[in-house]
Structure 1
Amino acid sequence: MLRAGFDFTLWLVLDLVFVVTSVAALVMAALAREDAYRAADKKTKAFWLVILGVTVAVNLFVSVLFLSIAGLIATIVFFVDVRPALQQVSGKGRRGGGSSSDGPYGPYNGGR
């Protein structure tokens, strides 16, 4: 009923965005190492692969808005919380290859 009030192309674009983001999250989750999930104190790799795999399947084969939004929330949680933690544990989280004593505005020199 909600879909009847909106343009078909809007729903097509939204479905495409949902599918692309969920597939990207699934690929990134699959490429991360299993021990990185444990080290980052996140759920297991298998947990995220199942959640994101179900999200991709729902977005591709089932056209239920509630399930698509639930899958989008899981995808956003992966991108915002899990992926940065995995990158930090894997050593890929620092940009520019700075030292561990670097602050947000450059190297910390001990107050000198």
Structure 2
Amino acid sequence: MLLTAFSGFVSLLYLAMLLLAVVALVMAAFAREDAYRAADKQNKMFWLILLGVTVVVNLVVPFLFLQIAGLIATIVFLVDVRPALRQVSGGGGGGRRGSSSDGPYGPYNGGR
């Protein structure tokens, strides 16, 4: 019984790694080519190939070592490259971009 529970957990872990790699691949595909150069990261084709190989490895190859290597590449893209691309592309965090006079509850209009 314990072995089947562990097997189910490992299957969910593999599925999570696959989904994370697919999400990173889609994000890499939709980013502009010039944003990679402006952010001083590897080019778009490099990340598309690396993340594409990660997805294929997660689908086809049952070697945990290769899947963990792909997971590391996915995490590097999501925590390092993606935020740099968003900053260069003008997509800031938090949605709405306000002016310098905006306070925590909205724009300051001088009491008018």
TM-score normalised over the length of structure 1: 0.82
Aligned letter for 1:44? Answer: N
**How far is 1:65 from its partner?**
0.6
Deviation at 1:98, TM superposition (A): 2.6
Structure 1 residues not aligned, in runs of 5+: 106-112
| Regions of 4+ moved over 4 Å | none
Q: Does 1:25 align with 2:24?
A: yes
TM-score, normalised by the number of residues in structure 2: 0.82
Q: Report SS of the residue matched to 2:66.
A: helix
Which runs of 5 or more structure 2 residues have no equivalent in the other structure? Answer: 105-112
Q: Which residue of 2 aligns with 1:109?
A: none
Specify the alignment match of 2:97 in structure 1.
97
**Letter paired with 1:66:** F
The correspondence of residues 27-106 of structure 1 with structure 2, limited to 5 A, is 27-95=26-94, 96-99=96-99
- Structure number, greater radius of gyration: 2
1:8 Cα deviation from its structure 2 partner: 0.9
Aligned-pair Cα RMSD in Å = 2.3
Tell me, in whole angstroms, the C-alpha distance in 2 between the residues paired with 1:60 and 1:24.
Answer: 14
How many percent of aligned residue pairs carry the same amino acid?
A: 62
Match for 1:27: what amino acid? V
Deviation, 1:94, is 4.0
Which amino acid is 2:68 matched to? Answer: I
